[in-house]
Structures are given as C-alpha cells and as structure tokens.
C-alpha cells in the first residue's frame, strides 16, 4: 500500500465527526509539550483548571509509581519536586483515557487501556535503564502507541469487527488483519494522529514501527531504542496475559538479547517494579484490580515450564541427532559386513592420495576376491554365503591397523588400503592374511566352512602419481593374475 494512500486514509479517519475533540485541558497540555519555553508555574495553572484531573494527578504523585517518601498536597509542590515532564504526561493520560468512550464495536476497551497502562509503566521502567532522560516520554508512548486501534474501531466499527473476526477465526495477527481490511494498520494511523496533535517525531516514528523495530531505517539511535522498548513492552503484556507464556517468555528473552538489553534489563526486577507501580494506578484509570495477577509467580511458573519444554526439546533434538548420525553412518557402511561401502571407500582413497601427494609416503592398494564363493552359495544357500561375508568382514577388521582402510567393494570383492606401507612390507602383510584366512573356519548350522582369497596388489607412490581409476585397474589386473596362479595367493602388479 502506498504512503499516499495511508496518508489520505489517516486524514479521512482522523477528521471524522465520530472522533471526539480533545478536551481543553489536553489541548493546553499539548501546547505546553510543544513549547519548551513554558514554565512549571504555567503547567500547575493548566492542571488547576480541572479539579478532578488535579486530584487524580496528586493521587498518582503519592502512589508507588513515583515512590516519594513524603506526601505531596498541592500541584505547584508536585511540579517543583518531580518536574513538569512527569506530571504533564500523567495529566495528559487521564485526559485521553476518557476521550474514546466505549462504542458498539468488538474492541475490548477495558483490556485495551489495561494493556496501554501496563505498556506505559513497563516502557518507562525500561527507559530508565537504557535511555537517558527519556523515561517520561516512554510512559506517554507506551500509553498511546496503540491509539490507532481506537481510531479505526470508532470510525469504522463494521470494518473493524471484520478485523476482530479474522484475528479470532484465522488466528491472524491484529496488524496483519488491519492491513487486509484497511490497507494500513493501527501503527500508521496512530503515528499520523500523534503528528496531528503536534507531538514531535520522537513519538510518531516509534509508534509507526513498534511491531517491526528492525524495519525502521534511521540513524537516530534514540528513535530505534524507543521503538524497541515499545515492542518489548507489547510482548511482555502478551507474556503476562495470554496463553503459551513459557514460549512467550523465551521470545521476550530472545528480544532482550537481540536488542542488546539483556545485561541491563533484568526481567524479574522489571516485573516486580511494574507490578507494584501498576496495581495502585488501575483505579485512577477506572480499571479493576485483578487479585489473581502475580507477575513474579507467572514468571516463575513460565521459567519452570520453559525449562521442562527446553529439556524435552533438547532430548528430542539429541535423539534426532543420534538418529541422523546413525543414518549417516549407515549411508557409508555396508549393511551386511558393517565395513565401509563403495562410496565411503572412494572418499577414503581420495584422502589417501591427497596425503601421499602432500607427505610423500607410499601406500598399498589391494583388491581381494573370495575364491569359489559361488560354490558356497550353491552348496549351502545364500544365508551361508552371507555368514561367510560377515565373518570375512570381522576378520579384516580384527587383523589390520586402525589407520588402514577396508571396504566391501561389491559381491564377494573387498578392497584394502594399507597406509604408509612400503611394497615389500605390504606384500608380507597381505600374504600373511591369506594364510590366516585359509586356516579360519566359518560356522554355519553345525558345519565348518572354509574360505580362501586371492589378492591383487599395487603401489600408491608419490614418485609415480596415477589417477584413481588407473590404480584400481592395476590392482584388478594383479588380482586376475593371482587367480590364474591357483588362487589363495597374492600377486603384485607388474607391467611385464
């Protein structure tokens, strides 16, 4: 949706007769905010114009929200002690809360203002930790950051009912549903309204991006941090008042980490302070106290649930990793003999050839074929043949070094790499293995089966570097020679 469309819609919505005019006191306070030259005495005079408002402000001044050690009995004293920034935002919040009265739409006004108040207090507390001098601004921002919802709900009640229906029936995020119906969300509408009221960019810009702080393109770190605090305050409210609190706690912690605030803002301390400040304020905003709410208890229970959930997920991930590891190993192992398979051998040979080139040592490549293996299958069945193959696999594993490689090449063929082994030594080792295998008996259904092997040997040398295919061909030709020499023997590749 274009920026021009959003601006036109915002102007239309914010100028409708259905929207109430700002109270005179609120207008005077806004003028006071815009004019930095106004005095503290003038603010006290403005507040004195509305006695009920003045009484509410004094009640808040003497509440745990400010934590004063002695009671304040008049507005000039309060302004002198706390400063005009604090009091004008408190006063403005009381003026605005009655501005939008409940109307015939599906918006829960009580929940809306409860959320706004909680976000205001939480934003103020976080700002004290991470934003120097911005705490009172953040109180007003927290209170007004969702005001676009009120504009949309009051100016277009039927369409906003459709928005609420989408959030309920389709489990859609509110601002996504607003975008579908209106072409913009409460963020843009709220930012426009604050600008119309004359509040500075430090208010409108954070409101316009508070659901997506990372999308805010600005070089002003204060705007960015204000937007992030609003986002965090929103998510903390969700943690306290909606389901899946354990997962929401994980999200809040992740956001604190992502925004670089995890060392400064301690969630337990934040919630403890927030609870003691919010609870006394609720009656002033015509909101009922909820005796069942215990922020620290919610936090503690969510921590336990998150731990249990994390532990369960960790075990599940571990089991999956173990399963993946098993599958990975199986992918490189022959299912019958548990030796390396053809693919694994190819990779091992590549590594050995690279090591030979780098370090200059000699290794032995040997092709092995079990003699008369078909006769075993024909005489005793394929199960007997499988037992022979498994036994030969164990034989090789038990009789070669861990640094050597043995693999089932296919059928009754095996292949070996004797690493860092000269030709004469390699021939002796393989000749000895031939003799040992010939003496071994394979037990199968009470029978003792004999097995022998023929071995073809070639040298892998840095002096005569050859392609892998050529080396395998040489070993295969040497194996062919061994078979023609009567089997159960070794043959070394020779060009002659």
Residue 210: partners with Cβ closer than 8 Å, 6 or more residues away: 145, 187, 227, 230, 231, 234
The number of angstroms, rounded, from the C-alpha of 77 to the middle of its chain's C-alpha atoms is 50
Compute the distance between CA of residue 92 and CA of residue 203 in angstroms, rounded to an integer.
Answer: 14
Q: Are residues 374 and 298 in the same domain?
A: no
Residue 288 has pLDDT above 80, yes or no: yes
The whole-number pLDDT of residue 137 equals 86
Compute the distance between CA of residue 19 and CA of residue 189 in angstroms, rounded to an integer.
Answer: 13
Phi, psi of 364 (to 5 degrees): -115, 135
| Contact predicate 232/255, CB 8 Å | yes
Query: Lowest-confidence range among 79-88, 239-248, 346-355, 401-410?
Result: 79-88
Q: Is residue 119 part of a domain?
A: yes
Per DSSP, what are the bridge partners of residue 406? 416
Task: Name the residue with higher pLDDT: 82 or 304.
Answer: 82
Q: Are residues 300 and 233 in the same domain?
A: yes
| Contact predicate 185/179, CB 8 Å | yes
Q: Among 292, 310, 328, give the residue marking a domain's end.
A: 310
Q: What percent of the chain has pLDDT over 90?
A: 37
Q: Are residues 459 and 390 in the same domain?
A: yes
Q: State the DSSP string of 121-187.
A: HHHHHHHHHHSTT-HHHHHHHHHHTTHHHHHHHHHSHHHHHHHHHHHHHS---HHHHHHHHHSS-HH
Q: Are residues 351 and 241 in the same domain?
A: no
Residue 238: partners with Cβ closer than 8 Å, 6 or more residues away: 248
Task: Specify whether the backbone of 452 is left (phi greater than 0), alpha (psi in -120 to 50) or beta.
Answer: beta
In angstroms and rounded to an integer, the radius of gyration of the C-alpha atoms of the chain is 40
Compute the distance between CA of residue 320 and CA of residue 206 in angstroms, rounded to an integer.
Answer: 43
Q: Is residue 354 part of a domain?
A: yes
| Contact predicate 377/385, CB 8 Å | yes
| Contact predicate 121/139, CB 8 Å | yes
Q: Is residue 27 part of a domain?
A: no
Q: Are residues 346 and 304 in the same domain?
A: no
The number of angstroms, rounded, from the C-alpha of 221 to the middle of its chain's C-alpha atoms is 25
CATH number of residue 136's parent domain:
1.10.3210.10
Q: Are residues 305 and 239 in the same domain?
A: yes
Q: How many CA atoms are closer than 13 Å to the CA of 182, on its beta-carbon side?
A: 34
- The model's pLDDT over 336-392, given as tens digits with 9 standing for 90+, comes to 898 999 888 999 999 999 999 988 999 999 999 999 999 999 999 999 999 999 999
| Contact predicate 367/409, CB 8 Å | yes
Q: Are residues 284 and 371 in the same domain?
A: no
Task: Specify whether the backbone of 365 is left (phi greater than 0), alpha (psi in -120 to 50) or beta.
Answer: beta
Q: Is residue 147 part of a domain?
A: yes
Q: Are residues 251 and 391 in the same domain?
A: no
Residue 34 has pLDDT above 60, yes or no: yes
Q: Is residue 49 part of a domain?
A: no
Task: Name the residue with higher pLDDT: 356 or 97.
Answer: 356
Residue 484, burial from CB neighbour count under 10 angstroms (0-12, 13-18, 19+): exposed
Q: Is residue 46 part of a domain?
A: no
- Count structural domains, the chain: 2
Average pLDDT over residues 431-452: 94
Average pLDDT over residues 96-102: 65
Q: Is residue 71 part of a domain?
A: no
Look up the domain containing 274 and give its range: 3-20+100-310
Q: Are residues 193 and 111 in the same domain?
A: yes
Compute the distance between CA of residue 376 and CA of residue 380 in angstroms, rounded to an integer.
Answer: 6
| Contact predicate 29/46, CB 8 Å | yes
Average pLDDT over residues 50-71: 77
| Contact predicate 150/112, CB 8 Å | yes
| Contact predicate 14/192, CB 8 Å | yes
Look at strands 453-460 and 413-418 and give their pairing. unpaired
Q: Are residues 299 and 396 in the same domain?
A: no
What global pTM score does this model have?
A: 0.58
Residue 41 has pLDDT above 80, yes or no: no
Q: Are residues 162 and 106 in the same domain?
A: yes
Average pLDDT over residues 65-69: 76
- The model's pLDDT over 303-332, given as tens digits with 9 standing for 90+, comes to 666 555 554 555 555 556 555 555 555 567
Q: Are residues 164 and 301 in the same domain?
A: yes
Residue 268 has pLDDT above 60, yes or no: yes
Q: What is the DSSP letter of 464?
A: S
The whole-number pLDDT of residue 228 equals 95
CATH number of residue 430's parent domain:
3.30.70.270
User: Is 25 strand, coil or helix?
Assistant: helix
Q: Is residue 282 part of a domain?
A: yes
- The model's pLDDT over 150-175, given as tens digits with 9 standing for 90+, comes to 888 888 888 888 888 888 887 788 88
């Amino acid at each position: 949706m274009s920026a021009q469309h959003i601006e036109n819609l915002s102007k239309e919505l914010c100028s409708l007769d259905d929207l109430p005019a700002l109270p005179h006191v609120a207008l005077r306070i806004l003028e006071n905010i815009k004019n930095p030259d106004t005095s503290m005495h003038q603010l006290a005079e403005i507040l004195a114009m509305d006695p009920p408002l003045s009484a509410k402000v004094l009640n808040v001044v003497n509440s745990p929200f400010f934590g004063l050690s002695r009671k304040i009995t008049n507005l000039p004293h309060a302004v002198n002690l706390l400063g005009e920034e604090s009091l004008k935002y408190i006063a403005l919040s009381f003026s605005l809360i009655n501005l939008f009265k409940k109307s015939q739409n599906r918006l829960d006004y009580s929940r809306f203002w409860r959320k706004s108040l909680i976000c205001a207090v939480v934003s103020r507390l976080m700002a004290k930790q991470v934003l120097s001098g911005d705490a009172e601004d953040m109180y007003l921002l927290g209170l007004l950051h969702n005001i676009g919802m009120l504009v949309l709900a009051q100016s277009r009640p039927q369409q906003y009912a459709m928005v609420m229906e989408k959030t309920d029936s389709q489990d859609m995020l509110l601002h996504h549903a607003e975008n579908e119906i209106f072409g913009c969300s409460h963020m843009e509408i709220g930012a426009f309204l604050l600008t119309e009221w004359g509040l500075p960019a430090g208010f409108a810009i954070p409101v316009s991006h508070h659901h997506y702080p990372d999308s805010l393109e600005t070089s002003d770190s204060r705007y960015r941090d204000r937007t992030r605090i609003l986002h965090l305050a929103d998510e903390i409210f969700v943690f306290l008042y909606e389901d899946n609190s354990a997962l929401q706690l994980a999200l809040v912690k992740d956001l604190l980490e992502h925004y670089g605030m995890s060392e400064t803002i301690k969630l337990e301390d934040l919630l403890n302070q927030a609870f003691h400040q919010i609870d006394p304020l609720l009656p002033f905003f015509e909101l009922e106290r909820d005796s069942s709410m215990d922020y620290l208890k919610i936090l503690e229970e969510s921590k336990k649930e998150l731990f249990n959930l994390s532990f369960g997920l960790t075990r599940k991930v571990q089991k999956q990793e173990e399963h993946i590891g098993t599958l990975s190993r199986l992918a490189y192992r022959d299912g019958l003999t548990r030796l390396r398979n053809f693919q694994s051998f190819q990779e091992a040979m590549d590594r050995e050839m690279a090591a030979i080139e780098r370090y200059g040592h000699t290794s032995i490549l040997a092709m092995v074929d079990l003699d008369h293996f078909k006769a075993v299958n024909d005489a005793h069945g394929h199960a007997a043949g499988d037992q022979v193959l498994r036994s030969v696999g164990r034989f090789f594993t038990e009789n070669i070094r861990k640094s050597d490689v043995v693999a089932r090449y296919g059928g009754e063929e095996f292949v070996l790499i004797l690493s860092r082994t000269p030709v004469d030594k390699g021939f002796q080792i393989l000749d000895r293995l031939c003799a040992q295998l010939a003496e071994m008996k394979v037990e199968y259904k009470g029978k003792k089966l004999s097995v022998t092997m023929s071995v073809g040997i070639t040298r892998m040398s840095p002096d005569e570097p050859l392609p892998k295919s050529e080396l395998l061909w040489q070993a295969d030709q040497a194996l062919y020679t061994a078979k023609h020499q009567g089997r159960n023997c070794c043959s070394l590749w020779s060009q002659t």
